[in-house]
Structure 1
Amino acid sequence: MSRGTRGFLQKARLLCSSNLTLKCARSGLQRACLTQQSRGVKVLGSEIREGNVVERKGRMMEVLKTQHTQQGRGGATIQVELRDVQSGLKSTERFRTSEAIEKVFCEEKTYTFLYIEGDNVFLMEPSTFEQVEVSKSMFGNGAAYLTDGMSVSGQMADGRLLSVAVPQRVTCKVVEAEASYKGQTANPTYKKVVLDNGLQISAPNFIDAEDMIVVDTTDNSYLTRAKA
């Protein structure tokens, strides 16, 4: 075999080896990307927000509430109320603010509320008119605020609807209100009122029956009188 032929074969082997290494590297990168896409991304405990979906012990959990606390030398922690998106069961966990938490990538969707039948809620995807059936329990206490044609938000991952929620601020009509007494308006005193959805909440003393008010659906709290 001539020197030129041997040189050519050596270059060919090196090229094949390089291509194989590059393919392996690309394959590994693709697998890593797919894994990251399917699992989400690591974030700090301090970055967790209400409405996020996180993965804990192989299960996807929706974050319902968060509360930051300081524990002296133990450092800052965050207490979170979670809902298992599959079973609906709620639990409470405590994370360190510096702890790495796996946040699931979710697609934000908007649906139109149609009606409730038994324990199920029927929604419609506006762009396709496709109807979606979900458990009423997915809305939690927010189910009481559902009204015809209301736009509700949803989060999807892996083609599955993980969570749904009514708007945080909604306008409700007061149908019953305790009597107001003179002399109480000087101070921010509150009284019980009943909304048109049947919920009883606390509202300022100056609110009367037939008034329209804005309510925070996350905790059923009065926000302000609705503008006419």
Structure 2
Amino acid sequence: MIEAVRAGLEERADPVKALEMQAYMKSGMPFLGVQKPGRVALLKSLPQLHDRDKWLHAIQTLWREATYREERYIALSLSGDRRFQSVDLLPWFDEMIVTGAWWDYVDEIASKRVGPLLRSTPDVVRPLMLKWSVDADRWRRRTSVICQLGFKGATDVELLTACVDANVDDPDFFLRKGIGWALREFAKTEPGWVRSFVEARPGLSPLSRREALKHL
């Protein structure tokens, strides 16, 4: 699997696109220049792993030993295999969040890895999100804020409130944007609640406020 990923990315490399992608993402790690359609095609061609330990080993190796950003994109995509999802993966997703430390990784992990685990195992994940909401790492905090994207009527309003309120005063752009995003999405289900929430918090940043009320 690991060899197939690396070889497949090298075959699809585009040096011109690589520089453009690195500049856009403001990435210290270089790109090979393999855009999403090429990565999707590569994923479809990869051999299937049916052993969970081998699957996790492949993902961790691709992530930890990555020399190009696309290796981590592939590892992230592979990490979503529904056959193997369980709450014991949380420490691994946490490692990806902290070492990835950028929105292109963190947003997918938060909404498509941590979020489903929150739904299936709230007794374990909910306390962790409350802890992350006040963590020193801004990406853990962003994860706690946006992990319920798409929950709609199943949103844990108390958890959302706690995670947002813990970060209302933070000047970080990604936290402010994340707060606005989480509220904007929930406004599609509970517009009145979101409007009241925003009005009750004069200290909410203009960015968060603007994003939250964007479609109201």
Task: Report the TM range for the smaller structure's normalisation.
Answer: under 0.3
Higher strand proportion (structure 1 or 2): 1
TM-score, normalised with respect to structure 1: 0.27
Pick the structure with more helix per residue.
2
